[in-house]
Amino acid sequence: MKRALLITFLLATPLFAQTSDEISFQRTFLLRNISGTSFNPGPAPYHPHIITRGTWTTFWGGALFATHTSETGPVKQRNEVFSTNWITAGAQHALGSRGLILFRGSVSLEPYTIKERGYPQMLQWVSPENGGPLLDSMRAHDALGEAAVDLAYRTTTSSFVHLYAAPVGDPALGAVPYAQRSSSEEFAEAPFSYDVQETTHDSGRVITAAFGSRIVTVEGSAFHDAVSHGRHTTIDNGSIDSRSARLVITPMSNLLLQVSRGELGDAKRRISSLSATWGAQPGAMSAIWTERETPDGEKLKSGSIEGTRRVERSTFSARVEAVDRPIGFLGNANIKRTAHFNLGYIFDFMTGSYRTGAGVNIDYHTQTHDLGHRYGHKPQTVYLFLRVRTESSAR
């Protein structure tokens, strides 16, 4: 991995001379970098409200889902009301003609809007090392998701270097978190690949150094593989014990290719990620593959394809996932992998600076014929919700 990143860095050198489409620091660090140093491709990768006053630019953005869920299939069905939500805000200040400093934070009220046992999600699994154990439930996000500072310096008209530091933040590992990813931001629920794919996004003591050009970005991180339990309001302030490296290629503005690898904790459990995301004004699509080593030495994989499509006031979403399960999952040796299908629709009855709409997500599961005694013949979950999110505006 180190040799590949070095070769890529050297090959990227000729890109320094490119002068077309000069890097805009405002776009790079306010619109593009949405979590840690990760970003969505395309012309509308983020939806913040931005206010510029002299050399300072402040911003904030977020989303809130108020959801009622109902299950069919299991003997004991859960019908509950909960809210998934997040908000991020920050300020950026120019340092001369080439530099900038960015302060950014992200919080969630989910520890207070979701029960400690999580919200209903049949066949979801969150392992103890990732905030569980939870079965048939999804945990709340941590109350504090990011508190970070980013220093950047433009080396040429089409390249920059920067240093990201965060007591709580997102290391250079994997794709954008699902709640902010342009291809999945309109789902009221987490992906079923959460335990394999998503759990490093709120790590501790993160330090990331990066070089970026118009096409290639190379990053390396050192961090603490943090985890919270219970209400998820505490901060795991352990020592740095993990590392990662990520290569991002954007051959065109609408397409992002990502490959990353990390080692987590003192045991150096390996995690690898590959993804491709395409984004445009009407919508986005992503394909994501992840392999993660468990404390027991198992190598669990997940693969997903997801997308959103906006047509005037309507938004259509879909996600297909295949997720490896740990040995003895649900006490059944035959359950080594489960597949999940999710369809969603939102109609926005209010637009403008805030998009407000009503929607539905429907889950369908396969590979459950050996679990009929627990989930019934065809287990399904329906999520009805109201959604409010910020829409891009600047002044």
Query: Where do the structural domains in the chain lie, given as residue ranges?
Result: 54-394
Element (H, E) at 195: helix 194-197
Give exposure, 305-336, as e/b (b: 16+ Cβ within 10 Å).
ebbbebeeeebebbbebbbbbeeebbeeeebe
Q: What is the pLDDT of residue 28?
A: 58
pLDDT category of residue 373 using cuts at 50, 70 and 90? confident
**Burial call 112-136: b when 16+ CB within 10 Å, e when fewer:** ebbeeebbbbbbbbbbebbbbebeb
Q: Give the pLDDT confidence score for residue 31 in this predicted structure.
A: 59
Structurally, what CATH architecture does the domain formed by 54-394 represent?
Answer: Beta Barrel (2.40)
Chain centroid offset of residue 253 CA: 20
At residue 17 the predicted structure's pLDDT band, cuts being 50, 70 and 90, is very low
Which of 13-22, 51-60, 202-211, 292-301 bottoms out in mean pLDDT, i.e. has the lowest? 13-22
73 vs 261, residue with greater confidence = 261
Band (395; pLDDT cuts 50, 70, 90): low
Contact predicate 258/275, CB 8 Å: yes
> For residue 125, which of 196, 71, 76, 189 has the smallest C-alpha distance?
196
Average pLDDT, the chain: 88
Closest CA to 192 of 260, 121, 286: 121
